[in-house]
């Protein structure tokens, strides 16, 4: 039986879905290899789980599809999905402790959302100015 693991990560309105299976150690985000994906900052953000546990994805092909949100929201959703997948693949509590000690959002979705816009204003808290006094 072939071992396949599916995980997901969320940040704001971005949702990333990761699929891990045995392979050569290639990581693709939206069909683009990680080495060519986005800017240097986003690549560094995504590769944090890989830097904390070297050789974690040796022999594992990771395919991640991400949609919604902005550039950094997507990057953080991808890193959460990737870290969760690595933990699930290796099933190693020590690895989980390393991730949680570094940054809890590697394994737990950041639940913060944008506050809803209210009537009589331009945003959630700001109100339109009065000009008659």
Q: Note whether residue 126 is domain-resident.
A: no
Domain assignment present for 24: yes
Query: What band does 74 get if pLDDT is binned at 50, 70 and 90?
Result: very high
Average pLDDT for 18-28: 94
Minimal CA–CA distance to 13: which of 66, 68, 64?
68
Which range marks the domain in which residue 63 is found? 4-106
Strands 32-33 and 27-29: antiparallel
How far apart are alpha carbons 46 and 24 in whole angstroms? 19
Averaged pLDDT of the chain: 93
**Positive or negative CA dihedral for 76, 82, 88, 93?**
negative
pLDDT at res. 49: 93
Residue 132, pLDDT score:
83
Name the pTM for this structure: 0.88
Q: What's the rounded mean pLDDT across residues 6-15?
A: 95
Q: What's the rounded Cα separation, in Å, for the pair 113 and 20?
A: 28
- The residue behind tokens 């394994």 is 107
* Residue 90 falls inside a structural domain: yes
The CATH number linked to 38 is 3.30.230.10
């Amino acid at each position: 039986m072939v071992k396949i693991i599916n995980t997901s990560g969320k940040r704001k309105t971005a949702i990333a879905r990761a699929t891990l299976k045995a392979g050569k150690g290639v990581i693709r985000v939206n069909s683009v290899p990680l080495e060519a994906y986005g800017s240097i900052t986003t690549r560094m953000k995504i590769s944090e789980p890989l830097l904390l546990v070297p050789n974690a994805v040796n022999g594992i092909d990771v395919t991640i599809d991400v949609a919604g949100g902005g550039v950094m929201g997507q990057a953080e959703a991808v890193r959460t999905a990737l870290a969760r997948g690595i933990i699930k693949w290796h099933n190693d509590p020590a690895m989980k402790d390393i991730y949680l000690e570094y940054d809890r959002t590697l394994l737990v979705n950041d639940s913060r959302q944008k506050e809803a816009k209210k009537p009589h204003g331009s945003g959630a808290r700001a109100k339109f100015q009065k000009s008659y006094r």
